[in-house]
Chains A and B, each alone.
Chain A
Amino acid sequence: MNRMFKERLLFLLFRLCALVVVATLVILVGYVVINGIGVISWSFLTEFPKKGFTAGGIFPAIVGTLYLIALVLVIAVPIGVLTAVYVVEYSDQPLIDGERVRAWMRREAMALHLRANAEPKRPAKARKPRKRGSQRMFYRVLRIVITNLAGVPSIVYGLLGFGALVIFFNLGMSLIASAITLAFLVLPLVITASREAIEAVPSSVREASFALGATKWQTIRSHVLPYSIPGILTGVILSISRAAGETAPILLTGAVVLKQTLPDSIFSSYMALPYQLYALATQYSDATRPMQYGSALVLLLMVVGLNLVAIIVRNRYRAKYRW
């Protein structure tokens, strides 16, 4: 009886933990929604801020964020997807599905009762471009890099963006400096999501294509990429949502609190929603509170909306391509 009692108590505790988590979400979102919903209106979304942020709207901040997103897409998506294709298709590592190949090789070895040091290694006849050890090294380094790029604190990205892009390359506090900084922030996300999508295509499909005489690139183009696109898309949407919500990188590279005009080129500074919220909340009086809540809500809706779209795309994709 004691065993069961202890278990029931613990399980209740775990249920409470889950409840706490959900409650946190509800409270957070609830607060912002309740206080912000009254502020949102068509004019709020389309006007410039007036009277020291106590009236008007956040139009330029919305536009700035949208410009940023567009630039980040243009930079991060090609690099990310192509890197993923390379990592999965062209490096010498067997795919996740290549577990099958490895297991099969192990079985063959066992069945042949061979010890690893029994047979002297013979030099292979050059029948195809030799895969040098350096290529394998390249792949290993690439994998470590991608994992660690994902862990770099966003403020460090901001720091670098500032020192390297704003100062050293003389881009100034600008959209482009922020966009490049953000692009590298989300690059690991794009790469990882694309990688998973590409690896999910079973190797039997690739084998069948090769056996029919297709080249590697033809196989990728006709069989791998088309079926990876939904997965890649999910990753891209998630990275947009991440980029839209980040403040630390843009704080040091181009976002400003107030600008009378919309940015006229990628080299100009700009207003952006996250920075708007931060600046108003920490540097302006409580009279701007309504605008703070409004900005928070718009940002939240944008980010959460994008995430939901990504989740829907992913779920529909999983249902459709059950290999």
Chain B
Amino acid sequence: MATKVKSGPRRRAFLENGIRYSFAAISAFSILVLFLVALFLILNAFPAFQVITPGSFFFGTVWDPTSPLNPQYGIVPLFVATLLVTLVSALIAIPIGLGCTIYLAELAHPRVRAVMKPAIEVLAGIPSVVLGFFALIVLATWVQDIFDPVNRLNLFVGGAMLSAMMIPIMVSLSEDAINSVPRSLKEASYALGTTRWETISKVILPAARPGIVAAIMLSIGRAVGETMVVVMACGNAPHLTFDIFSSGLTMTAAIANEMGEVAFNSTHYYALFAVGLVLFAITFILNYVADLILNRQEERY
């Protein structure tokens, strides 16, 4: 039997530390990526402000970058369109999502739950382009028949379809929040002779509130950042409008539509990066705050 002579513990420490540092290096790579993301966005957005004044960018109400005589880069129409679409989507998705969550968490028969939860996960997994396709062909026609909108493809259609994307996120995150409320609280409430609804509304929901708020923020973040549904369903007309039944161009759609046709290193090119930066900032803030809320809740229990 060959004698395996190992040298002293220094060798083992060396190996173990080597492995540890390799892992650390790889993780550091992930951090690097995020910083590069932010950095790259800033670097490519910055040149835009040498030509466009920040004022006219952030407060300008006309987005017309391809006009040969007087290109304008006001982000307000894009921002408003994003806002309206998100609003429509949230107004539909949050109540329905919450209602569905309460049903799933507290009322549903376990067998029903066992079928519904995977179903919701499937809904969550449907690619956004398929949803956009459906909105473009089917939903827009329904909306047209019911509401007689100014444009067939409009912000409402986009928002309504977006809610189908928001709902699964709302449901799964809110469900986590509700399920993490300790059973002892529920039992204490029942022991005092309250009805189920009273327990839910007065004990469980308030206790789960941070998690639900975080869920709302994260789903809104998702809606703000969504591209394919809005680019296919909202019409992409870059005018400033508050009529949800007219076409609109969201920030994401602007980038998707125009980036392909833009000349490198032109003002338009940089301006689109500036829009991307704004998007990044909004979703970053939403995610960060939601994360803070969730962590604070973890420490409560």
Contact = CB atoms under 8 A, between A and B. Distances in A.
A32 B138 CA distance: 11
A252 B195 contact: no
A86 B119 CA distance: 34
Given A18-B99, A144-B288, A152-B283, A252 B130 contact: no
Contact of A274 (B27, B44, B129, B197): B129
A269 interface: no
A31 interface: yes
B155 interface: no
B41 to A, nearest CB: 7
B128 A151 contact: no
B100 A156 contact: no
A154 B100 CA distance: 27
A37 interface: no
Contacts of A244: 127
Given A82-B26, A215-B16, A160 B37 contact: yes
A305 to B, nearest CB: 10
Contacts of A85: 23
Interface in A117-162: 129, 138, 141-142, 144-156, 158-160, 162
A148 B284 contact: yes
Interface stretch (B53-61, B182-190, B223-231, B237-245): B223-231
Contacts of A150: 287
> Chain B's interface: helix, strand, loop or mixed, by majority?
helix
Interface stretch (B67-75, B83-91, B143-151, B255-263): B255-263
Q: Which of A21, A129, A164, A244 is packed against the most chain B CB atoms within 10 Å?
A: A21
A159 B218 CA distance: 22
A160 B40 contact: yes
Nearest to A276: B129
B31 A7 contact: no
Interface in A84-115: 85-87, 90
A187 interface: yes
A145 B31 contact: yes
Contacts of B123: 21, 24-25, 28
A63 interface: no
Nearest to A151: B287
A87 B27 contact: yes
A277 B232 CA distance: 11
B34 A21 contact: no
A148 B286 CA distance: 9
B103 A15 contact: yes
A151 B33 contact: no
A11 interface: yes
A295 to B, nearest CB: 9
Nearest to B286: A151
Contact of B118 (A129, A217, A274, A311): A311
Given A154-B225, A160-B40, A14 B107 contact: yes
A32 B171 contact: no
Contacts of B252: 153, 155, 248
Contacts of A216: 16, 20
A3 B137 CA distance: 45
Contact of B122 (A159, A296, A307): A307
Interface in B254-287: 255-256, 259-260, 264, 272-273, 276, 279-280, 283-284, 286-287
Interface in A255-313: 274-275, 277-278, 281-282, 289, 292, 296, 299-300, 303-304, 307-308, 311
B96 interface: yes
A208 interface: no
Nearest to A90: B20
Given A31-B134, A149-B30, A90 B24 contact: yes
B179 interface: no
A172 interface: no
A74 interface: no
A319 interface: no
Q: Which of A17, A155, A163 is packed against the most chain B CB atoms within 10 Å?
A: A155
A21 B120 contact: yes
B142 to A, nearest CB: 10
B26 A153 contact: no
Nearest to A13: B99
Interface of B: 12, 15-17, 19-20, 22-24, 26-31, 33-34, 36-37, 40-41, 44, 95-100, 102-104, 107-108, 116, 118-123, 125-134, 136-138, 164, 167, 171, 195-198, 218, 221-222, 224-228, 231-232, 252, 255-256, 259-260, 264, 272-273, 276, 279-280, 283-284, 286-288, 291
12 contacts: A11-B103, A16-B99, A21-B123, A21-B167, A32-B130, A85-B23, A129-B17, A151-B221, A153-B279, A245-B130, A247-B127, A278-B132
Given A216-B20, A300-B127, 9 more contacts: A3-B195, A20-B96, A83-B27, A86-B20, A151-B284, A247-B127, A282-B231, A303-B125, A304-B122
